[in-house]
Amino acid sequence: MNLAQTRKNDHVRLALEQQRKDRVSAFNDLRFVHQSLNQVRQDHLDLSSHWANQDHSWPFYINGMTGGTEKTKQYNQKLAQVAHETGLPMATGSVSIALSQPQVADSFQVVREYNPNGFVMANLGAHHNLENAKRAVDLLDANALQIHLNIPQEVVMPEGDRDYGMWLDNISQIVAHLGLPVIVKEVGFGMSRETIADLISVGVENIDVSGRGGTNFVQIENDRRTRLDFQDLGNWGQTTPESLLEALAFQDQARILASGGIRSYLDMVKAYALGAKAVGLSGRFLALVDQLSIEDCVQVVNDWRDSIAHMMLMLGVESIEAIATCPVVINGQLRDWALSRGID
């Protein structure tokens, strides 16, 4: 196995270790205001979402993770089976490794093989140009492309990129000429309004703010190092709710998606309250397919949907987008963030 392949297996192993640790949800600083009357009926509830130029029957999706080795192929297969059984949209991990090592392409293509008609997103880093973006979507017959932004990960990764100067230009070219929807995402460090404004300025219409609170790639890459210790940067970046606050001013200009530390239906509903059009889960899905049969994973997914529906009854709203109109109260660190960034 070469270095890139070892890294892919390390990522899965260390991400699964992180899933075993208890963490406090950054969404705890957000509470809904309970209302004692509403007009909502269960048979009117609509849990669909609209992003990447398409209607999706689900308000959440399997976010980008893996591929590139035999082991990660097995995870991709299971994730694809869950996507196929449920109809969930799904992204692969970065296909960069398959562009330089075509012999590992099957570890990504398994996603299409097991989910031939589903909504599949290919994934690439922003250092790739338009030509590679076309190769990436062709490889999977993908419906959309995720482009990830991951500077802290590259910095702490011993073998990481050290030059990010072309990223925005590449994104601009890809968005203009790929001919498929593009979603630009973080990888768990969140986004600022400055970043979001830059992305929108080059035509990006779908943004996954992917914030801190779940899988932590500074920690993962630090665990892979032997020299220099970046443990102190374990809290780098904006949490997912902080990032959603940063994105509030751009709701009319882009479809804002949320991921990072989403564990359950309650985190999801709170993300919708802060304007997320849909929510992505990575580490949580990895742990599910690691531990459960496909059938049991499907049950968990259906339970999340039903729980979201129950929450909608309590909140008095009939659509996912309408959750953003529910009054909320913000406390603690999330309130401090909003105040010091002048968000009201």
Instruction: Look at residues 324, 223, 239 and name the one whose alpha carbon lies nearest to residue 274.
Output: 324
Contact 255, 50 (CB under 8 A): yes
With CB atoms as reference, the residue minimizing the distance to ligand FNR is 214
Residue number with CB closer to ligand FNR (105 or 322): 105
How many whole angstroms from its chain centre is CA 225?
25
241 part of the interface to ligand FNR, by CB under 6 A: no
Instruction: Look at residues 24, 27, 96 and name the one whose alpha carbon lies nearest to residue 64.
Output: 96
Residue span binding ligand FNR (CB under 6 A) among the ranges 48-56, 195-203, 245-253, 256-264: 256-264
Encode 321-338: b = buried (16+ Cβ within 10 Å), e = exposed: bebbebeeebeeebeebb
**Could you say which DSSP state residue 78 is in?**
H
Residue number with CB closer to ligand FNR (121 or 334): 121
- Shortest distance in whole angstroms from residue 306 CB to ligand FNR: 21
Both tokens of residue 91? 């992204």
Residue span binding ligand FNR (CB under 6 A) among the ranges 23-31, 35-43, 128-136, 275-283: 275-283
The DSSP bridge partners found for residue 280 are: 61, 259
Cβ partners under 8 Å of residue 130, min gap 6: 170, 173, 174, 177, 178
261 part of the interface to ligand FNR, by CB under 6 A: yes
Check the annotation: does 71 bind a ligand. no
Site for ligand FNR in 50-79 (CB under 6 A): 63-66
15 part of the interface to ligand FNR, by CB under 6 A: yes
Check the annotation: does 65 bind a ligand. yes
- Shortest distance in whole angstroms from residue 227 CB to ligand FNR: 23
User: What Rg value do the Cα atoms of the chain yield, rounded?
Assistant: 19
Check the annotation: does 259 bind a ligand. no
Contact 271, 258 (CB under 8 A): yes
Residue number with CB closer to ligand FNR (239 or 326): 239
* 3-class DSSP assignment, residue 165: coil
Residue 119 burial (CB count, 10 A): 20
Site for ligand FNR in 169-228 (CB under 6 A): 185, 187-188, 210, 214-215
Cβ partners under 8 Å of residue 229, min gap 6: 222
- Shortest distance in whole angstroms from residue 153 CB to ligand FNR: 9
Site for ligand FNR in 117-156 (CB under 6 A): 123, 146, 148
- Shortest distance in whole angstroms from residue 197 CB to ligand FNR: 21
| Binding region for FMN | 64-66, 94, 123, 185, 210, 215, 261-263, 282-283
Where along the sequence are the contacts to ligand FNR (CB under 6 A)? 11-12, 15, 63-66, 93-94, 123, 146, 148, 185, 187-188, 210, 214-215, 259-262, 281-284, 286
